[in-house]
Chain A
Amino acid sequence: MPTDLDLPTPEQRSAAIDLRSPERKRPDREFVRFSRLQRTLHACMIVSFLSLATTGLTLKFSYTGWAAILSRFLGGFQVAGFIHRTAALLMFGVFVTHLYSLVKLKKREHRSWRDFLLGPDTMLPTPQDLRQFFATMKWFIGMGPRPQYGRWTYWEKFDYFAVFWGIAVIGSTGLTLWFPIFFTRFLPGSFINVATVIHSDEALLATGFIFTVHFFNTHLRPEKFPMDTTIFTGHMPLAELKRDKPMEYEALVASGQLEQHLEEPQPEIVVHTIRVFAWIALSIGFSIVVWIIYAMLFAYK
């Protein structure tokens, strides 16, 4: 499942390069890993997810003083509820848009579903992922070299499908809580209670996972510390591609397509803005983790 969806065609790319400066070869071209749509969706996802987490946790941890302050700050529980539902709609929108973009890409590239889903850059788990997982374990305990990861590592795939699971579980229970009267037409009233427990605990899992494991895997890993901006800028230094995704790099070099995936870096101002946005998102995420730990361990009732 290739995701470099909206990469310009080679013709467009060479034209763009020529147009900029045929004589001056920009030495600092970067590898394009994420398309504009993907970056936009990820940014929307961040906004939506942080809103959902913040507003939702005020209810979950209503017994902490923090929750009351935050709830007031957000404009009261009704406003918080409105934000929560709006953010949920945004999340559904992101999800649907992503699925739609996959279908569109498949059509544009005239590929069969089989090829599309099981090709070398697929997002679906493959036996190779299992092998790489074990190889990674060996590497962790010093019994082997670092595996030669491809375009999508197994933990990235895990993150990706965790969102599918989360949207299905949290989304469905969330809708039940949003429209209880409608759902109790065919479900018992106590199902609302069950939905509350599932919604709340699955949300805790999602926020906890994203703000710790996902943050570490992508941003806080010492070799990326403090932040990996690839998902925001879409660009990644070629050296990093070579180091992190050697298999993809080699495949691109072998097929001679590497040149097509290179682009000059984002303007300084864009990168700067992106960093500010990413830092805010990271900080909110970390604050929420601190709040969760405080609420779960020190103030639990």
Chain B
Amino acid sequence: MLGPTRRKFFAPGTALTLLLAAGTIRAAASPAQSPSSDDCLACHSDKTLTTKRGARTVSLFVDGKKFSASVHGSLGCTACHADLEGKDLPHSTPLARIECGTCHSEEQKQHSHSLHGRAIARGDALAPHCVDCHGNHDIVPVSNKESAVAPLKVPFVCGRCHREGTPVQTNRQIDQHNILENYSESIHGEALLKKGLVVAPNCASCHTPHNILPHTDPNSSIARRNIAATCTRCHAEIESVHRATIRGELWEKEAHVLPACVDCHQPHKIRNVFYSQGMADADCMRCHDNEQLKAANGRSMFVRAAEVDGSIHARPRTQTAPIACSQCHSEVNVSRLRPCETITHPVDCSRCHEQIAQQYQRSKHGQLLAANDPNAPTCKECHGTHHILDKRDPMSATFSTKVPELCGRCHREGQKAAVRYVGTQHEIVQHYRESIHGKGLLKSGLTVTATCTNCHTAHMVLPRTDPQSSVNPKNVPATCGTCHHGIEEQFEQSVHSRLVTTTNKDLPVCSDCHSAHTIRRTDETGFMLDIMDKCGRCHEEIAKTYFDTYHGKVSRLGYTKTAKCYDCHGAHDILRVADPRSHLSRANVVATCQKCHATATRRFAGYLTHATHHDPKKYPFLFWTFWGMTTLLVSTFVISGMHTLLWLPRALQMRHELKAEEAREEAARLNGAGKPGGEEGQYAD
């Protein structure tokens, strides 16, 4: 922090000293001569001497004591800073990069061919030069524990770049993760870092110090063919204990047909456990072929050999040799009569399926397992045990058409996953079967149709509230877009997309309109009518006004022939009406009307599709027409209603009199039957 200020203060003084010193040298030795180390230190022993490199301030201080104690102490500065040879001091800056290869030609050659050297050649700013590992003026022999590349320090030197989260680890193609952590927990790391065994292998022991190459490079120390040689540099006798594969030289000569060390002992994670490749399957089957074999708790321990032989592990994609029993059922001890008696842990698939295991651990299923929940499904709940098949195998329990049943085992209503679920989705499996995806998969047999795992992922199943979940609203468009890519493209341009609209309100995603498990064909009446309510969930006011118009009223009656929201606004490509690309922009609206009203004109398009007579500000003429009509209606009914009500008592009275008169006439007729009536009587009945 003090640097710049101090530098400013001292700079004139320093410059003067330099000039004086230079003058003296020049006067003393007239013909140009290389500056001695003392000459250099005249300036560079100043701890405040700095320079700017780009935005960085770099110290130019050289500790003379350390330098003279270093392996290069006997050499002059110009031995390395060759460009200062015969130059006057003070020298111009910057100096050329040191060429260590001038002396260390072999190392330099290796380094140039290595991953790091090639990165330098590419101009990769992150690529390490000699000084990045070895330091500069204070280089001491590797045997000195002060050395920057002393065995104990190597993991940290490498870790500077190959730690999680560094630019190298995040921005460069590196397949391994948590390298430093895994190493420090591995048997090698423990030996080196905890027990201080400096002979324990560090990074450079396997990767070599300078000739670092990717494992795909056949010359790499960690290439499949070379790995055995690399390991046997320490584990010299390992082949003689590797019963199944030894036969002397097989391991090195026919490495391609045999598992390499790292197939069992994963790089960086080499554990302090006994992996017995030497335990042949036949040894296991000697006991486990017995159908009657039972564990102490009564569980059958019978293994059907045919199942194992038919499984994907008998023909793994990544290697030619089948996976042996003991690769999964580790902890066996071949020196025991019953090698398996030392097994204390269940099979850990993550030894090979590391990435999947990481996903699983992140998933809800994995979280439950971590919480020791008895309901937590582990690998075998879905994949089975000995008869695991490739998911593309129609017989596999994880084949797409079988996935709904598989997940349904727990997620069907009443089952263990469904009973603990508190969300809004119910009858998931049944609904899925009736959905367009379910029908496509199960009725039409389209194995590419989305099934549970396509949306929820197979291993990283997370509740939708988790931001990393594939069904989190934020991720839903991308999830659906893996199949419905064209729709996703449209949607991401639309006003509903998070990429277009920024709002603190919830924006709709695919599932808000199409639902999740009950997705229907969009040309079904039910879907077409529902969608208006779906739009209305957010656009409440405007949806109401739609239902005041002819279009809305007919839709409300249950018919789909009239315009619904998406007929005018578009479905996935909804844009603001003001947007010139919108279906309802001035340029497009007539064409939109013409989809149904073939002869529609611009003036016809002036029909107010969302007009309501309840809004005096927006639609005053409709408002006043409505109230004018209502006034007419009400006044007519009030006047005629009063007329009627007033009439009623008189009318009742008339009816009364009429009845009485009729009764009188009837009586008179009965009394005087046959008597001629009056002229009126003739017509009276």
Contacts and interface: CB of A to CB of B under 8 A. Distances in A.
- What 9 pairs between A and B have smallest CB-CB spacing? A189-B606, A201-B629, A238-B683, A140-B646, A62-B553, A222-B655, A189-B607, A62-B556, A184-B604
Contacts of A140: 646-647, 649-650
Interface in B608-630: 608, 611, 613, 619, 621-622, 625-626, 629-630
Interface residues of B, number: 54
A243 B682 CA distance: 16
A242 B632 CA distance: 36
B561 A190 contact: no
B601 interface: yes
Contacts of A193: 549, 607-608, 611, 619, 622
A63 B549 CA distance: 12
B555 to A, nearest CB: 8
A140 B641 CA distance: 13
Contacts of A243: 658
Given A27-B685, A139-B650, 6 more contacts: A59-B554, A77-B561, A188-B606, A201-B626, A209-B640, A239-B685
Interface stretch (A2-10, A64-72, A96-104, A279-287): A64-72
A221 B606 contact: no
Contacts of B559: 71, 76-78
B607 A192 contact: yes
A222 B600 CA distance: 55
Interface of B: 544, 547, 549-550, 552-554, 556-559, 561, 597, 599-601, 603-608, 611, 613, 619, 621-622, 625-626, 629-630, 632-633, 636-637, 640-641, 643-644, 646-652, 654-655, 658, 680, 682-685
A196 B612 CA distance: 11
Nearest to B556: A62
Contacts of B604: 180-181, 184, 189
Interface string A8-51: 00000000000000000001111000000000000000000000
Nearest to B597: A181
Contacts of A212: 637, 641, 644
Nearest to B662: A239
B683 A239 contact: yes
Contacts of A189: 603-608
Contacts of B605: 189
25 contacts: A27-B685, A28-B683, A28-B685, A62-B553, A67-B556, A77-B554, A77-B559, A78-B559, A137-B646, A155-B643, A180-B604, A181-B600, A189-B603, A189-B604, A189-B606, A190-B608, A193-B619, A194-B621, A204-B633, A205-B637, A208-B633, A209-B637, A222-B648, A222-B652, A238-B680
A142 to B, nearest CB: 8
Given A76-B559, A190-B607, A205 B636 contact: yes
A78 B646 CA distance: 44
Residue among B557, B597, B649 with the most chain A CB within 10 A? B557
B654 A58 contact: no
Contacts of B655: 222-223, 225
B557 A59 contact: yes
A68 B557 contact: yes
A175 interface: no
Interface residues of A, number: 58
A184 B603 contact: yes
A140 B644 CA distance: 10
B599 to A, nearest CB: 5
A34 B599 CA distance: 48
Contacts of A72: 558
A190 B683 contact: no
B650 A59 contact: no
A198 interface: yes
A243 B661 CA distance: 12
A213 B622 CA distance: 28
A71 to B, nearest CB: 5
Contacts, number: 151
Given A185-B603, A213-B640, A197 B625 contact: yes
B554 A184 contact: no
Contacts of B558: 68, 71-72
A141 B654 CA distance: 14
A135 B72 CA distance: 135
Nearest to A204: B633
Interface in A238-272: 238-239, 242-243, 262
A240 to B, nearest CB: 10
A126 B644 CA distance: 22
A29 B599 contact: no
A210 to B, nearest CB: 11
Given A217-B644, A221-B647, A222-B652, A198 B625 contact: yes
B550 A196 contact: yes
A184 B557 contact: no
A202 interface: yes
A181 B601 contact: yes
B654 A222 contact: yes
Contact of B622 (A194, A209, A301): A194
A256 B108 CA distance: 142
Interface in A75-129: 76-78
A131 interface: no
A185 B601 contact: yes
Interface in A185-235: 185, 187-190, 192-194, 196-198, 201-202, 204-205, 208-209, 212-213, 216-217, 221-223, 225
B683 to A, nearest CB: 4
A237 interface: yes
A240 B632 CA distance: 34
Nearest to B656: A222
B644 A213 contact: yes
A27 B294 CA distance: 113
Nearest to B613: A197
A165 to B, nearest CB: 10
A204 to B, nearest CB: 6
A212 B658 CA distance: 24
Given A27-B682, A194-B625, A197-B629, A180 B646 contact: no
B329 to A, nearest CB: 66
Contacts of A205: 629, 632-633, 636-637
Nearest to B637: A208
Contacts of A181: 597, 599-601, 604
A157 interface: no
B530 to A, nearest CB: 15
A146 B606 contact: no
Nearest to A213: B640
A184 B685 contact: no
A190 B619 CA distance: 10
A139 B601 CA distance: 60
A111 B552 CA distance: 54
Given A59-B554, A71-B557, A209 B636 contact: yes
B606 A223 contact: no
A222 B651 contact: yes
Nearest to A189: B606
Contacts of A204: 633
Given A139-B650, A188-B603, A221-B647, A67 B557 contact: yes
A232 B683 CA distance: 20
Nearest to A27: B682
A72 B632 CA distance: 33
A190 B606 contact: yes
A212 B651 CA distance: 16
A196 B683 contact: no
Contacts of A237: 683-685
Contacts of B608: 189-190, 193
Contacts of A28: 683, 685
Nearest to B612: A193
